[in-house]
Each structure stands twice: as C-alpha cells, then as structure tokens.
Amino acid sequence: MSKTINFNVPPYVGTEMDYVREAAEANRKICGDGPFTKRCSAWLEECFGTPKALLTTSGTTALEMASILCELEPGDEVILPSFTFSTTATAFVLAGAKLVFVDIRPDTMNLDEKKIEDAITERTRVIVPVHYAGVGCEMDAILDIARRHNLKVVEDAAQGVMSTYKGRPLGTMGDFGCYSFHETKNYSMGEGGAIMVNDPACVERAEIIREKGTNRARFFRGQVDKYTWVDYGSSYLPSDMNAAYLWAQLQEADAINNDRLATWNAYYQAFEPLAQVGRVQLPYVPEECEHNAHMFYLVCDSLAQRTALIDFMKARDIYPAFHYIPLHSSPAGQRFGRFHGKDEWTTSISERLVRLPLYYGLTAEDRQAVIDAVLAFYAQEDEARG
C-alpha cells in the first residue's frame, strides 16, 4: 500500500515544546507580551528592519489592525486582488469599505500593477498587494501609484515571511505589512500572525489598538503612571505559549527556508521539460524577487485537466490542492465589492492552478513520489492523445 502524502504538514523543529514548557513552568507567564513574544518581535524587527513588529492572533487580525490604522470612512474604497483569501477582504469590509477587485498578472498571480491606476476613484484610500506564494508584487510601481494618489499600502504578506523584493523584505515596504503564522505557513504558532508597523507615526496607536484600546504599552515602559482606555481597540495579542512555539521556528528560519527551497527547486527542475513543450505553466519568480518556497503550483491547460490530475494523484494517495475561488464571484464579494475592468486572468487561473505537497521535512522519497505521479499523469495523457 502506498504512503499518504498530504498537502501540508505543520512545521515542527523539535524545540517547540521545550519553550512552551519554559513559558508555562519557568516563566509562569502565559498571557500576551511575555518574554517569548518580545523575542519574536525583536527578531522580526532586527531581521527584516521595521520600527515595530507586533505579534497578533492571526494574519487575519493583523490585517484588521492595519485596516483600523488606515482610518477608513464607510464607503471608502480599497483596491485588492480577487484571487486571495477571504480575510484580505473582510478586514476592510469591517471598516465599512467598498472593495474594488483588480485583475492579477498571469505570471506571478499578483495584483497587476498596470491595472491599478485605472481603478482609482476619489474614494480610493488603500491598495492591498497580496504577495502570492511568497513572491513579491511589483512594489516600486505600486508604491509610486500610492504616493501620487496619496493612498495607504497594506501588504498582505501572509505567505511572504523571509521573501524579498529588490532586497527589501516583503511586509516592510507598505505602511503596514501583515504576516500569518497559521499552521499552513512556513513558520507557525498554530494560529498567529504579526503586523509590521512601518510608519513610525503609527506605532503608538497600533500598540493601543492591539491592547484593548488601552495605553498599557506606555505604562509598562514607564511613560505614564497608570494605564487607561484611550482609543478604539480589541484583543489582538496571542498567548506567550504560542509565541514560544513560534520562537523555536524563527531560530531555525534559515533551515526551514532552505529545506522548502530544496523541494521547490526539485519540482521546478523535474517539470521544466513539461513547461518547455507548453504542457504546463510553472511559477515565475521575477529577477528582483527572492522567494521563500511557500508554494509550488502548476497551471494546467483547463479545469478538466486539473480535475483529472488531482484525481490521478489522489488515487496514488497524494493530495494536491487547488486554491482561492475568486472573491468577486462569491456571495460576500458580490455584496461588498465590484470587479474593475476585465477579468482576464483571475477566474481562468483560479480554475487551472493546483498546488503540490510542500512542507518542511518532506522527504526526498515523498518528493520523488509527487514528481513521478505528475510525470506519469502527463505521460498517460500523451499516450491517450496518440
């Protein structure tokens, strides 16, 4: 019987439980902002270079914090891709914003920077580039548009931890950058995330929003003698036990990155001949981008071919996965937004893209089984075609 190869296995480096135990038994500090949270924040600030990195309970709540910090009024417009996760959108819908979906590029699946400007109206306030698969959007063009139209930029870098664009870490170029540490991401604390507050003027308000609307952070720094409710806010800080779990993985960040890249490169090499004869489209990484191997996908010729490929692999106990259903075609997307311009690629790519198993610790043997299955599928197709 063949061995099951799942799409994802959460990263685990082996020291996680030592740190969780330390938080619970030695530190006796399991609420938010304990020693492990501080270590993770400092690591993100030092490695990636931002004035303030704040851990959150998810990538979703990091986006919600960013949305609050953008100070939107009901009816303000936010430009984002439709080919993304629901919470890229919900974070702004909660603030009463209207969503304006713009098409993606067919090579990186990122927001098409050339189609953004046409979607801007007098109500536009924010652009949300989503760095799909941990490959950077064309940030220079996007930041230039934002500057000229006085718009905020919130980078959805949920998948982009450890990736760069022109040497700059994803998540550090917009006003705010949002990371996810969900178990499906390269680095994980189960559920968790972080907001990179790249605008120093917003740091204090970000701390207040995250801490239930209070100025507790200032109190702990000795800047006020008691803390009180000063602004809008909620509870966005994770337990220090979760941060302890994440800390183990941040310490092994390079090892995790290299391990994932090895699988990504092996897939790329194995499928390049198929791409060269036009049988399948492979991920494209622009020269100015360094990626984190968050994802390896194939773009098939048609929905029918993708369904056949997935079924073929499942029959071998290998579980690839398709991805987002375009938000503009979903019930909530239709209610809260509109697609600007022509949907040239969003729906078409969404129907044809399939993600292969890729996780830290995927063995060479399992990786080869995935490769063999894909190649066998296309060989079988060739045979059927004669």
Which structure tokens are listed for 316?
Answer: 């071998």
Residue from 37, 67, 159, 239 in contact with ligand PLP (CB under 6 A): 159
Least distance CB 295 / ligand PLP (angstroms): 10
Rounded alpha-carbon distances, angstroms, from residue 329 to 332, 339, 352, 356, 362: 8, 9, 16, 25, 35
Residue from 41, 50, 82, 87 in contact with ligand PLP (CB under 6 A): 87
Residue from 84, 164, 186, 292 in contact with ligand PLP (CB under 6 A): 84
Least distance CB 78 / ligand PLP (angstroms): 14
**Which residue stretches of the chain are H helix?**
16-21, 35-48, 59-69, 86-93, 139-149, 203-210, 216-220, 240-251, 253-276, 303-315, 331-336, 346-352, 364-385
Residue from 40, 158, 280, 373 in contact with ligand PLP (CB under 6 A): 158
Within a 10 A sphere around the Cβ of 74, how many other Cβ atoms? 8
3 state DSSP class of 208: helix
Least distance CB 132 / ligand PLP (angstroms): 7
Q: Residue 190 and residue 245: Cα distance in Å, rounded?
A: 8
Q: Residue 8 and residue 203: Cα distance in Å, rounded?
A: 35
Residue from 16, 33, 64, 156 in contact with ligand PLP (CB under 6 A): 156
Complex with ligand PLP: residue 130 or 173, whichever CB lies closer: 130
Residue from 129, 134, 177, 193 in contact with ligand PLP (CB under 6 A): 193
- β-pairing, 164-165 vs 289-290, is antiparallel
Least distance CB 238 / ligand PLP (angstroms): 11
Contact 176, 196 (CB under 8 A): yes
**Within 13 Å, how many C-alpha atoms sit on residue 116's CB side?**
30
Q: Residue 37 and residue 220: Cα distance in Å, rounded?
A: 15
Number of helical H runs and strand E runs in the chain:
13, 13
Residue nearest to ligand PLP (CB): 59
Least distance CB 6 / ligand PLP (angstroms): 17
Phi-psi region of 33 (alpha: psi -120 to 50; beta: other; left: phi over 0): left
- Residues binding ligand PLP: what is the number (CB under 6 A)? 14
Span from 45-53, 65-73, 154-162, 195-203 in contact with ligand PLP (CB under 6 A): 154-162
Span from 20-28, 38-46, 103-111, 151-159 in contact with ligand PLP (CB under 6 A): 151-159
Complex with ligand PLP: residue 180 or 215, whichever CB lies closer: 180
Least distance CB 156 / ligand PLP (angstroms): 5
Tell whether residue 182 is a contact of ligand PLP (CB under 6 A): yes
Phi, psi of 19 (to 5 degrees): -70, -40
Least distance CB 130 / ligand PLP (angstroms): 5
Which structure tokens are listed for 58?
Answer: 């998810």
Residues 228-287 that bind ligand PLP (CB under 6 A): none
Tell whether residue 180 is a contact of ligand PLP (CB under 6 A): yes
Q: Given the structure tokens 């337990």, which residue do they identify? A: 239
Q: Which of 60, 116, 132, 56 is nearest to 89 (CA)?
A: 60
Least distance CB 200 / ligand PLP (angstroms): 25
Complex with ligand PLP: residue 192 or 233, whichever CB lies closer: 192
Span from 18-26, 46-54, 152-160, 353-361 in contact with ligand PLP (CB under 6 A): 152-160
Residues 18-77 that bind ligand PLP (CB under 6 A): 58-60
Amino acid in the structure at residue 85: F
Least distance CB 25 / ligand PLP (angstroms): 28
Residues forming contacts to ligand PLP in the complex (CB under 6 A) are 58-60, 84-85, 87-88, 130, 156, 158-159, 180, 182, 193
